[in-house]
Every structure is written in structure tokens, then in C-alpha cells.
Amino acid sequence: MSLLTGKRAAVAVLALAASLSLAVAATPGATPETDGPVKSLRACAGLYSFGNGEKIVVGLQPGGTDLYAARLSTGDVRKLEPAGEQTYRYGPTRDKSTPVEGSIEFNAGRDGEVTSLRWSQEGGGLSARARRVRSEEESVTIPLAGGAAISGLLISPPGKGPFPAAVLVTRSDRYDLWQLGMELLDHGIAILAYDRPAAGNGAAACRKKDETACADEARAALSFARSHARIDPARAGVVGWGDAGD
């Protein structure tokens, strides 16, 4: 993932860097910006904006154990590999971590919440800072028929609302939401993702196990979203992709 400044610099660096290029102002080097340690891997996930308006998503892989970065304007994705307490490195493709092309350092406040990141090109070249785009997050419990319930995550734009909302029917769990979810959030749309126990080991299993249960979960999530104070019930719907969209 390369961050470029000016057309000539862009041409020169693109020959060496990965396709996740962002046109931002270069700085001679990073200065310490972190007041405290990042409290969790989850705290790193979110939408980040560079000075020129270019945005990247840092997301959690399904299961919530690994991070990736994606450029919104192109959809290019890079897996982030730990390289320090708050620093991650990435390689030239989604699946290749070597040779290392750059790094991302997350900067947190005293409360451990991430406020920004600093991207640096490998070898001490270009460096730039991106601020985290503000949002409101709420862990929720979605009731099902018969007294059961599923866990979910509601992320909405800052402010009072009510906001339009998309219930994300993902492949497996609430962590499989970031790339599409953050793009919707960037357009002022709240998102609700939830764990999918009926899907077993993925949404494809829904077709083999219990399609009715999977549909019931989606309906329950939509009903929950429409009843939430921050959501406009007349502008709430369902979005699915991959097997989850079938």
C-alpha cells in the first residue's frame, strides 16, 4: 500500500509499491502520536480518512483474530501482519506478506481507543497520517422466537439520527462486515451485523442445514433495527453478499 504525493512521485513510487496507492502529502518522518496502548485488536477496526479525502478501511477477518486494510476507491485489500505492539506490515498482494511494502502504526488515546493511524512506506520513504472517522458503536442482543437471542453490532454515524440502516447478512459472524459496512457508513447509513448460529461454518451451510432458521435470523435483525431509536424504520433494509445473498 503506497501513499503518493504529486503525479511524478506517483509514477515513480507506483513502479515499486502495491496497488493500494493513496495520493497524500508526504512527511519527512513520523513523530510519536500515541498517548497510550491500543486496548484491543477490535479497537483498530474502522474507517480512516487521509488529508485528501482518500479513505481506507481496517477490518477484522471473520472470527475477529486478524486485521486487513482495504482501499475504498479500488477495493484493493492487504492482510496486516503484526510487527510490533501497535504496528502491522503488509506485502504486495492480499495473500502475500513478503516482500514487505509498508506498515501501519495505530495511535491511541489514553483510554486505548484508536484515533488515527500512520502509514509508512518500507525503507523510510513516504509517510502520512489518517484520522479515524467518528462513529457510534453498540453491542446489541437481538431476540429470536422462542426466547433465544443472537449477538450483533450496530454502527451508526455520529449524531442523533434517525439514520437509514442496512442489516448485513454476512457469511458467518458480525466481524465479516468491514469493507462493505464502512462504505455504507461513509454514506451516512447505519449498519447492523450479527452472529449467525444457523449458518454453522458459513452461509453456504444455511442451504444444507436450515434455510428457515437463517431467514428467521435476518428477519429478527431487521425488526430489531427498525425498532432502534437511532434508526429510521422506513429506511431500513437487508443487504447480503456471496452465499449470504442467495
Phi/psi-derived region of residue 97, left when phi > 0, alpha when psi is between -120 and 50, beta in every other case? alpha
Residue 175, CA atoms < 13 Å, CB-side half-sphere:
17
According to the model, what pLDDT value does residue 16 have?
Answer: 26
According to the model, what pLDDT value does residue 230 have?
Answer: 96
According to the model, what pLDDT value does residue 206 have?
Answer: 53
Residue 3, CA atoms < 13 Å, CB-side half-sphere:
27
Per-residue pLDDT of the chain (246 residues; tens, 9 = 90+): 443 333 333 322 222 233 444 444 444 444 445 566 887 888 899 999 999 999 999 988 777 778 999 988 888 889 999 998 899 999 998 888 889 999 999 999 988 889 999 999 887 778 899 999 999 999 999 999 888 899 999 999 999 889 999 999 876 656 667 778 888 999 999 999 998 765 454 444 455 456 778 888 899 999 999 999 999 999 999 998 655 555
According to the model, what pLDDT value does residue 236 have?
Answer: 97
Cβ-contact 189, 164 below 8 angstroms: yes
